[in-house]
Amino acid sequence: MNARTNSTAIAFQSVHLKVAVRSRQRWVTGLLVMFAFAALTSTSAFAQYGGQKKLVIKSSVLGEDRTILVRTPAGYDASDRKYPVLYLTDGDAHIGHTASTIEFLARNGRMSELIVVGITNTDRTRDLTPTKGTGPNADQFPTAGGADKFLNFIATELIPEIEKNYRVQPYRILAGHSFGGLFAVHTLITRPELFNSYVAVSPSLQWGDEATLKRAEEFFKNRKELRATLFTSLGNEPGDIGKDFIAFRELLNKTQIKGFEWEAEQYTDEDHGSVVMRSHYAGLRKVYDGWQMKRDPATGAVAGGLKGADEHYAWLSQKFGYKIATPEPLINQLGYQALGAGNADEAIAIFKTNVERYPNSANVYDSLGEAYEKSGHLDWAAPQYEKAQALGKQNNDPNAAVFAANFTRASDKLKQTAAGKDAEAAKQADAAKKNQ
Percent of the chain's residues with pLDDT above 90: 76
Distance of alpha carbon 280 from alpha carbon 233, whole angstroms? 9
Distance of alpha carbon 278 from alpha carbon 268, whole angstroms? 12
- In 26-182 the beta strands, taken as DSSP E runs, fall at 51-59, 64-72, 83-88, 115-119, 168-177
> Given this model, what pLDDT does residue 49 score?
52
Question: Is the per-residue pLDDT at 39 higher than 70?
Answer: no
- pLDDT (mean) for 224-236: 97
Nearest to 54 by CA among 109, 91, 99, 17: 91
Question: Is the per-residue pLDDT at 317 higher than 50?
Answer: yes
Question: Is the per-residue pLDDT at 20 higher than 90?
Answer: no
Model confidence at 423, pLDDT cuts 50, 70, 90, reads low
Model confidence at 149, pLDDT cuts 50, 70, 90, reads very high
Model confidence at 309, pLDDT cuts 50, 70, 90, reads very high
> Given this model, what pLDDT does residue 30 score?
37
Who wins on pLDDT, 229 or 45? Answer: 229
- At 430 the three-state DSSP class reads helix
> Given this model, what pLDDT does residue 231 score?
98
Distance of alpha carbon 404 from alpha carbon 389, whole angstroms? 5
Question: Is the per-residue pLDDT at 142 higher than 90?
Answer: yes
Distance of alpha carbon 182 from alpha carbon 380, whole angstroms? 62
- Judged on CB neighbours under 10 Å (0-12, 13-18, 19+), 352 is middle
- Judged on CB neighbours under 10 Å (0-12, 13-18, 19+), 180 is buried
Nearest to 147 by CA among 132, 163, 161: 132
- pLDDT (mean) for 172-186: 98
Quote the mean pLDDT of the chain.
87
Distance of alpha carbon 303 from alpha carbon 293, whole angstroms? 8
- Partners of 85 in beta bridges: 115, 172
- pLDDT (mean) for 59-71: 98
Which pTM was predicted? 0.83
Model confidence at 50, pLDDT cuts 50, 70, 90, reads low
Q: What domains does the chain contain, in order, with CATH numbers?
A: 21-45+312-424 (1.25.40.10), 51-287 (3.40.50.1820)
Our CA angle for 256, 185, 237, nearest 5°, is: 105
Question: Is the per-residue pLDDT at 271 higher than 80?
Answer: yes
